[in-house]
Structure 1
Amino acid sequence: MNRPRPVFFNLTQLQMPVGSVTSILHRITGVILAVGTPFCIYLLGLSLADAQGYARVAGMFAQTIFKLLAVLFIWALAHHLLAGVRHLLSDIDVGSHLQAARTSAWVVNCSAVVIALLSAGVLF
C-alpha cells in the first residue's frame, strides 16, 4: 500500500509575488495602526494638557527608541493608506491587469519606505 506522503513546504524558499507581499503588509500595518493609535491619542492629549505634559512628550521624542517607534508608525500609516487606495482602485478595475498591478504594488512599497525615511530624516 503506497500512500502519498505529506509534502513539506519550506516557506523560506517560496517566492511570493509583490502583490501578495503588499497585501500582507497592508494587513500587518492595519494591526500596527490599531494598536498604536490609542497611544498617539494619549500622547496628543498629554501634550495639549499643559506645559509639563508637553515637556514630557518632548522628552519622550528625545529618546532613540521612541523615534524609531514613531518612524515605524509613520511607515505603517503611509503603507496602509497607499495600499488601501491601490485596493480601492483595483476594485473599480483601475490597474487590475497583471503588469499594472505589479507596478502599483512596487510603487506602494517603495513610496511607503521613502516616506518613512523622510520622516526619519526629520526626527533624527
Structure 2
Amino acid sequence: MTELTKKRPEFRNINAFKDLTTYRLPPAGWVSILHRASGGLMFVLLPLIVWLFDTSVSSEISFGRFTSAFSSGLGFVPAWLFKLVVLAIIWAYLHHLIAGVRHLYMDVCHAVSKEFGKSSALFTLITSIALTLLLGAKLFGIY
C-alpha cells in the first residue's frame, strides 16, 4: 500500500546564494515586494517631496526655482538626474496606490484565489509601469 502512494515533496530552507538566482517568483510575489519597496522609497524621499510641494506653491519666485530645477538642474544635480528621481517617486506612488487598492479589494471581497492573485498582480504591474511611462514622457518633454 505504501508503494502506491506518491512521495510527498521535501521542503527545505533556501540557500540565498545558490537558490535565489534560479527561483521564479510569481507575479503576486513581485507586486508584494515592489509594494514594500515603493513604500520605502516614498518614505526615504519624503523630504524631497515636501520640498517640491513647498517650493511649487510658496510664491512665484519659488515656483521659478522649482521649474528651473527641472530645466537646468539644482546645485550640483543635473536636470536629467533630478527628473529621474522624480520619475522614481512617480512610479513609487502609482505602484503603491494600485497595489494598495488591489490588497484592499482582496480583503473586502475575499477574492483570494490563485487566478485572481495572478491576474490582479499582472494588472498592477502593467498599469503602474504604463502610467509611469506616460507621465515620464511628459516629464522629459516628449509630448
Change (3 A) 1:46 1:110: same
Instruction: State the structure with bigger RCO (CA 8 A, min sep 6), 1 or 2.
Output: 1
The match for 2:100 among 55, 80, 84 is 84
Residue 26 of structure 1 pairs with residue 35 of structure 2:
yes
- Indicate the residue corresponding to 2:82 in structure 1: 66
In structure 2, the gaps of 5 or more residues are: 1-12, 72-78
Structure with more helix by fraction = 1
* Structure 1: 5+ residue stretches without partners: 1-5
- Aligned-pair Cα RMSD in Å: 1.7
Tell me the matched-pair count: 119
Identical pairs, percent: 31
Per the normalisation by structure 1, the TM-score is 0.87
3-state secondary structure, aligned to 1:11: coil
Return the offset for 1:121: 1.1
Counterpart of 1:75 in structure 2 is: 91
Superposition TM-score, scaled by structure 2 size: 0.76
Q: 1:7 to 1:19 in 2, by over 3 A?
A: closer
Larger Rg: 2
The equivalent residue for 1:57 is 66
Tell me which of 2, 23, 26 is aligned to 1:17.
Answer: 26
